[in-house]
Amino acid sequence: MKSKEDLISILSRICNKDSRYKIDAYTFVLAALNVTMESLDRNGHVSGQELTHGIKGFAITEYGRMARTVFEHWGIKTTEDFGYIVFNMVEAGVLGRTESDNINDFKDGFDFQKAFEDEYTF
């Protein structure tokens, strides 16, 4: 397990290499991954679809109606962006993957406006 300082250093290097996303987007995805694994009572791999669903729920819990605005501030415009974030962390050795994992697993996961605005309930 990497120390918090090591993780921040690795994430900073990722952000320098791929400036589309802010470091907060990476730390959010890691936190959402932990919450997703807990909700699935799993201590290992989750699919891109499972993580995307977990991200949606965690974002609503953390940011409510502001989730879309927060994501846009971090450079995230679609659920596919979460896939790029995950695969950047895989490439850097922060996360693992299976042979069947694919960036397309994150494509069209949900619509931000529908999830965080139109269908949002308190």
Residues 6+ apart with CB under 8 A from 29: 51, 55, 82, 85, 86, 89
Alpha-carbon span 2 to 102, nearest angstrom = 25
Phi, psi of 116 (to 5 degrees): -105, -10
* Length of the chain (residues): 122
CA 7 to chain centre: 16
Query: CA distances (Å), 90 to each of 3, 8, 41, 70, 84, in order?
Result: 17, 15, 22, 24, 10
Q: What is the pLDDT of residue 92?
A: 96
The low-confidence residues of the chain, meaning pLDDT below 70, are 1-2, 120, 122
Using one digit for the tens of pLDDT, what is the confidence trace for 6-40? 999 999 999 999 999 999 999 999 999 999 999 99
Q: Which pLDDT belongs to residue 44?
A: 85
What are the sequence ranges of the domains in the chain?
4-118
- Amino acid 68: pLDDT: 96
pLDDT in the model for residue 122? 62
pLDDT given at position 1: 52
Q: Provide the pLDDT for residue 119.
A: 78
